[in-house]
């Protein structure tokens, strides 16, 4: 467990920076020259209308897509693109808009899968199981149980995730990401499809993760209320370009942002 | 050094010095390519419209041919037997749709694929039980299919083209043309393409999935019957055809699983490639490389271009 | 009633994660092992051992191998027959070149050769998935089949082209070759299968099993969690082929006593695949169920009509087997895609609450 980071001493050095990143698929330009940074310990929101390229941005940070141009600096190391394994190994974890759980496994196994990077007992110990491999399993099981308690999903730990309701599946996915003990946690619409109570629960978890574990969080979210309450700084994307990068209050009153979301008012020029 | 010569130079020298053999080999390759294409065509039809990889296509060819010959052996005149076999293939399509596709409608691809495995074994056993397991002679004459060969001297030697093979190529081309028109121009063809794209969307515009599936499996059955007649006419009708039908898989890989022109061109490439490989490079390895050459060619393609020559590029989103 | 876990509290994680957490299961396993190792040798006769139990065990091992690859790791393979063959031929060459080393060691070592070949043909799995990967395994199957026939060194230049199994002993008792009794062969096969099943069970219940299942369920997410795809898939191919190779070696050396190349043809690949599908993909016990059903079915089909006095031609029995297997596969996939293993689980669940309905 890391030492809790205080909000006042807050914005630490830059943990991740993307510079001038451009990404296209065939003819579609998903991102054009986007640059912003994420500071250690902060909660950074990425918002924008549908199709703005937010998920693509996370995918680039994650290593799932390789951008055509631009640079990614993570923990001081500069790269032109990330690879999924390098991202995971370096301490980046994420959740997905459309859920990417391992449906054939139980909640417990899904979260244990998040510990894979930290489990090292080799093939021959695995063949024997009893002995070092089992000890390692138990040790990591303890950590996973801490996460299960934290997320209040103890009752469903042995249930195959395919059978869980949507809100709980999202929580399990968060658990799997947390199991990786990431430095940077990327959350893609963690509140999508949730009712008010579920949103409050999820918000509480996100704040707790940030404060108790000291994890830096980048968060895509459509609910402006959540964004305002939770985040330290906000990046706004529209049609693959950055149109604002400031604190929530500043962004709320930014003309470009309002125009992107609401469009031009009729008959008046802005 | 000597080995390099044997692999890279000698075969081409042989090709140049005996052009009649080259043409013969190319022709033989074309012929088997046509037959692979026809089997692959059946696969593509079914895959396009129902997303099912029909492993049973090969046995459907054998089964259709067996039914035809079997009926004739019991005294049914040739063309009536042909008509009855078409009816049998229709009933088969109905049965498959009702008993296999409908109960499994929402299952994953691999489950449907395995169901066609089951269908294969079912048809093998049934075919053997009803018609007997020994090879049979196709009723080529009764169907007015040409016999004999056209031979011409030239190119320094002697090339022989079986008339039945020419007929097969022509019939295959006609069938492909008809199918292409059917898919592109008719209402049902459009419905088939819609179903291939998205089952749910097709349902929501009122297309009956079940009807489409019966039509598609029936069409594949007719293609299988034609293939069976052609193949049976040039050799014999036996269950070993079933394994040869597996060769359609490399064809599909080359041509893409959803492309009709791909199936044709892929079939020709595999057929010709196989025969050339066996004839000119086979002796280096002791012969018999036809049994695996097609798969290795396909494997090479897969590694380099996973969607085949004509298939759609697979973009995965997460 | 009988299957209740009441009173069986787990007080530590290790106990909770045990392979057989329920006491009744542990007793069941102990009974099965007792019957297998003690009772059967006492009462078994040649037919039971030779025609039923030994092949059942061997096919179960091959089915476990394929299940690890296709059921747990999600990589469809149609090359099982060929990988079994690699094991058999490797064993033959090893024991020909080093005849004084114990044959059991060579049977196990031959798995390593299969593993290497399997990993080699599994390399394309980095770029291709699903049915396409099945074609790669078909390439392996047909190429290796060709090798078995065309490379005479493999079958010791024997004129018939078949493997001839030499006499080998263990602690003075013949275990391969014509003089080995079915009982000795049964015990050797049983020991190997039990040990390797135990290893497989350990693997799938631990980190490696989870990695395989993650790759099977969603390989993109598995990668993002930090699982190295190529290594995981290659490991699956290697381990699976190891099991198939040992099964192949045992098939030739401890059952048939000799073999021709067509034993390892593509029909064998399909046969094992059916065992795995019907038994239950992604379960170890399903491998045993599937092997039992698919292997014993033709025997039963021949024996039952005879028992009733109705003669049935052997050819017709075989054809009927095809039909029944085909129908069984379809029916199973409709009713219970998870195979016999799932039905077994449901049965245990019913036992738990019996005599109540739920």
Query: Does residue A154 sit at the C interface (CB-CB below 8 Å)?
Result: no
DSSP string, B144-184: T---SEEEEEETTEEEEEEHHHHHHHHHHHHHHHHHHHHHH
Question: How high is the pLDDT of residue C52?
Answer: 87
The percent of residues in chain C predicted with pLDDT above 70, rounded, is: 98
Taking residues B65-70, report their average pLDDT. 88
Residues 33 through 62 of chain A touching chain C, CB cutoff 8 Å: 62
* All structural domains of chain A with their residue ranges: 1-91+182-270, 101-181
Assigned fold of B2-304 = ABC transporter involved in vitamin B12 uptake, BtuC (1.10.3470)
pLDDT value at residue A2: 35
DSSP string, chain B: -HHHIIIIIHHHHHHHH-HHHHHHHHHHHHHHHHHHHHHHHHHHHHHHHH----TTHHHHHHHHHHHHHHHHHTT--HHHHHHHHHHHHHHHHHHHIIIIITTTTTS-HHHHHHHHHHHHHHHHHHHHHHH-SS-B---TGGGT---SEEEEEETTEEEEEEHHHHHHHHHHHHHHHHHHHHHHHSHHHHHHHHHHH-HHHHHHTT--HHHHHHHHHHHHHHHHHHHHHHHHHHS-B-TTHHHHGGGHHHHHHHH-TT-HHHHHHHHHHHHHHHHHIIIIIHHHHTS-THHHHHHHHHHHHHHH-TTTTTSPP-----
pLDDT at B121: 87
Distance CA(C228)–CA(A52), nearest Å, equals 31
Per-position pLDDT tens, chain A of length 270: 334 444 544 567 889 999 999 999 878 889 999 999 999 999 999 999 888 889 999 999 988 889 999 999 998 888 888 889 989 999 999 999 889 999 989 999 999 999 999 998 889 999 998 889 999 999 999 999 999 999 999 999 999 999 999 989 999 999 999 999 999 999 999 998 888 898 999 999 999 999 988 899 999 998 888 888 899 999 999 999 999 999 998 888 888 888 887 776 665 554
Helices (H) and strands (E) in chain C, counts: 16, 4
Q: How far is CA C25 from CA A159, C28, C196, C299, in A?
A: 20, 5, 19, 30
Tell which residue, C107, C65, C78, C66, has the closest CA to residue C90: C107
Query: Chain C closest CA to A21's CA: distance in Å?
Result: 21
Please give, rounded to a whole number of angstroms, the shortest distance from the CA of B103 to a CA of chain C. Answer: 6
| B111 chain-C contacts, CB cut-off 8 A | 333, 337
Q: What is the pLDDT of residue A264?
A: 66
Asked if B318's CB is within 8 angstroms of A98's CB, the reply is yes
What residues of chain A lie within 8 A of the CB of B315, using their CB? 25
The answer to whether B318 faces chain A, any CB pair under 8 Å, is yes
Break chain B into its structural domains and give their ranges: 2-304
Do B318 and A25 count as a contact with CB atoms less than 8 A apart? no
Instruction: Give the nearest partner residue to C277 out of B114, B249, B298, using CB atoms.
Output: B114
Nearest CA in chain A to C197: A127
Please give the average per-residue pLDDT across C77-84, as a whole number: 94
Q: In the prediction, which pLDDT does A183 show?
A: 94
Query: Does residue C113 surpass a pLDDT of 50?
Result: yes
User: Hey, are the CB atoms on C13 and A141 less than 8 Å from each other?
Assistant: yes
| pLDDT computed for residue C2 by the predictor | 67
- Cβ contacts of A109 on chain C, cutoff 8 Å: 210, 213
- Alpha-carbon distance B266 to nearest alpha carbon in chain C (angstroms): 15
Checking if the pLDDT of B21 tops 90, the result is no
Residues 6+ apart with CB under 8 A from C202: A126, A127, A128, A129, A133, C19
C219: nearest CA partner in chain A: A102
CATH superfamily of A1-91+182-270: P-loop containing nucleotide triphosphate hydrolases (3.40.50.300)
> Each residue of A123-164: pLDDT tens digit?
999 999 888 999 999 999 999 999 999 999 999 999 999 999
Work out the average pLDDT over C1-24: 79
pLDDT at A3: 41
| B221-272 pLDDT, tens digit each | 999 998 888 888 877 777 777 777 788 888 888 888 778 888 888 899 999 9
**In this complex, is the C-beta atom of A89 within 8 Å of any C-beta atom belonging to chain C?**
yes
Residues 186-205 of A with CB under 8 A from C: none
CB contact under 8 A, B121 and C329: yes
Taken in order of first residue, the domains within chain C and their CATH numbers are 46-353 (1.10.3470)
Average confidence (pLDDT) over C177-190: 86
Which residues on chain A are in Cβ contact (under 8 Å) with C214? 102, 105, 113, 116
Instruction: Give chain C's length.
Output: 358
Least CB–CB distance from B318: residue in C146, C220, C274? C220
- Which residues in chain B have their CB less than 8 angstroms from residue C319's CB? 124-125, 128-129, 133
Chain C residues closer than 8 Å to B289 by CB: 146
> What's the whole-model pTM score?
0.89
- Nearest Cα of chain A lies from the Cα of B313 at a distance, in angstroms, of 11
* CB contacts, 8 Å: C234 with chain A: none
């Amino acid at each position: 467990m890391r030492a809790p980071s205080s909000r006042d001493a807050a914005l630490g050095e830059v943990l991740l920076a993307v510079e001038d990143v451009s990404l296209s698929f065939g003819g579609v330009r998903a991102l054009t020259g986007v640059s912003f940074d994420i500071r250690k310990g902060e909660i950074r929101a990425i918002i924008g209308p549908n199709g703005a390229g937010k998920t693509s941005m996370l995918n680039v940070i994650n290593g799932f897509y390789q951008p055509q141009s631009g640079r990614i600096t993570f923990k001081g190391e500069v790269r032109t693109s990330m690879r999924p394994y390098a991202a995971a190994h370096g301490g980046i974890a994420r959740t997905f808009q459309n859920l990417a759980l391992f449906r054939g496994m139980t909640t417990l196994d899904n979260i244990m899968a998040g510990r894979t990077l930290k489990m090292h007992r080799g093939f021959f110990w695995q063949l024997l199981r009893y002995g070092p491999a089992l000890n390692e399993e138990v040790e990591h099981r303890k950590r996973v149980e801490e996460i299960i308690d934290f997320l209040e999903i103890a009752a469903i730990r042995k249930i195959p995730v395919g059978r869980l309701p949507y809100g709980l599946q999202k929580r399990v996915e968060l658990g799997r990401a947390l199991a990786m003990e990431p430095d940077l946690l990327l959350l893609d619409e963690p509140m999508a499809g949730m009712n008010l109570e579920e949103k409050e629960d999820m918000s509480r978890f996100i704040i707790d993760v940030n404060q108790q574990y000291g994890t830096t969080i980048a968060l895509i979210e459509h609910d402006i209320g959540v964004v305002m309450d939770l985040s330290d700084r906000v990046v706004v994307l529209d049609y693959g370009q950055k149109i604002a990068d400031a604190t929530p209050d500043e962004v709320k009153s930014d003309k470009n942002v309002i125009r992107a979301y609401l469009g031009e008012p009729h008959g008046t020029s802005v | 050094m000597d080995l390099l010569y044997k692999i890279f130079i000698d075969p081409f020298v042989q090709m140049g010095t005996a052009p009649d053999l080259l043409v013969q080999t190319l022709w033989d390759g074309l012929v088997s390519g046509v037959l692979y294409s026809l089997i692959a065509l059946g696969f593509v039809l079914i895959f396009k419209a129902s997303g099912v990889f029909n492993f049973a296509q090969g046995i459907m060819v054998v089964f259709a041919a067996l039914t035809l010959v079997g009926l004739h052996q019991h005294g049914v005149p040739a063309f009536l037997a042909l008509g009855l076999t078409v009816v049998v293939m229709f009933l088969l399509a109905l049965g498959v749709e009702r008993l296999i596709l409908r109960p499994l409608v929402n299952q994953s691809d691999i489950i449907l694929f395995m169901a066609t495995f089951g269908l294969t074994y079912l048809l093998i056993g049934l075919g053997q039980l009803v018609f007997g397991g020994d090879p049979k002679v196709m009723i080529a004459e009764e169907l007015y299919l040409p016999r004999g060969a056209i031979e011409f001297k030239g190119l320094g030697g002697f090339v022989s083209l079986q008339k039945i093979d020419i007929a097969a190529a022509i019939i295959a081309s006609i069938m492909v043309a008809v199918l292409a028109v059917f898919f592109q121009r008719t209402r049902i063809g459009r419905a088939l393409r819609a179903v291939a794209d998205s089952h749910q969307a097709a349902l929501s515009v009122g297309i009956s999935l079940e009807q489409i599936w019966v039509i598609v499996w029936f069409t594949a059955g007719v293609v299988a019957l034609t293939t069976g007649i052609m193949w049976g006419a040039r050799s014999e009708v036996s269950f070993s055809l079933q394994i040869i039908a597996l060769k359609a898989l490399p064809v599909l890989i080359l041509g893409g699983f959803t492309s009709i022109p791909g199936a044709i061109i892929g079939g020709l490439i595999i057929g010709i490639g196989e025969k050339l490989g066996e004839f000119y490079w086979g002796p280096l390895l002791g012969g018999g490389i036809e049994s695996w050459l097609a798969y290795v060619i396909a494997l090479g393609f897969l590694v380099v271009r996973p969607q085949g020559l004509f298939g759609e590029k697979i973009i995965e989103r997460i | 009633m009988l299957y209740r876990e009441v009173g069986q509290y787990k007080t530590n994680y290790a106990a909770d994660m045990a392979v057989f957490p329920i006491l009744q299961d542990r007793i069941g396993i102990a009974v099965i092992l007792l019957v297998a190792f003690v009772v059967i040798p006492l009462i078994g006769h040649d037919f039971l051992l030779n025609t039923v139990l030994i092949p059942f065990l061997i096919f179960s091992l091959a089915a476990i191998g394929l299940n690890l690859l296709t059921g747990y790791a999600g990589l469809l393979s149609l090359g099982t027959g060929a990988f079994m063959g690699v094991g058999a031929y490797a064993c033959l060459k090893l024991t020909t070149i080093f005849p004084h080393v114990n044959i059991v060691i060579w049977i196990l070592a031959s798995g390593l050769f299969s593993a290497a070949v399997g990993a080699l043909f599994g390399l394309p799995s980095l770029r291709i998935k699903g049915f396409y990967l099945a074609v790669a395994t078909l390439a392996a199957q047909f190429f290796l089949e060709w090798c078995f026939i065309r490379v005479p060194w493999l079958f010791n230049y024997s004129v018939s082209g078949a493997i001839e199994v030499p006499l080998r002993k263990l602690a003075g008792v013949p275990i391969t070759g014509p003089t080995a009794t079915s009982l000795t062969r049964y015990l050797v096969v049983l020991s190997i299968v039990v040990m390797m099943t135990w290893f497989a069970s350990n693997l799938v219940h631990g980190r490696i099993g989870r990695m395989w299942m993650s790759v099977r369920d969603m390989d993109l997410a598995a990668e993002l969690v930090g699982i190295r795809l190529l290594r995981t898939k290659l490991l699956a191919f290697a381990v699976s082929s190891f099991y198939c190779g040992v099964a192949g070696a045992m098939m030739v050396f401890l059952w048939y006593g000799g073999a021709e190349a067509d034993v390892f043809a593509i029909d064998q690949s399909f046969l094992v695949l059916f065992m795995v599908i019907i038994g239950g993909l992604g379960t170890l016990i399903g491998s045993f169920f599937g092997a039992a059903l698919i292997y014993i079915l033709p025997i039963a089909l021949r024996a039952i009509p005879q028992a009733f006095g109705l003669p049935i031609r052997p050819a017709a029995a075989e054809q009927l087997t095809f039909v029944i297997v085909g129908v069984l596969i379809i029916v199973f996939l409709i009713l219970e895609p998870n195979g016999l293993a799932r039905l077994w689980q449901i049965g245990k669940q019913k036992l738990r609450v019996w005599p109540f309905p739920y």
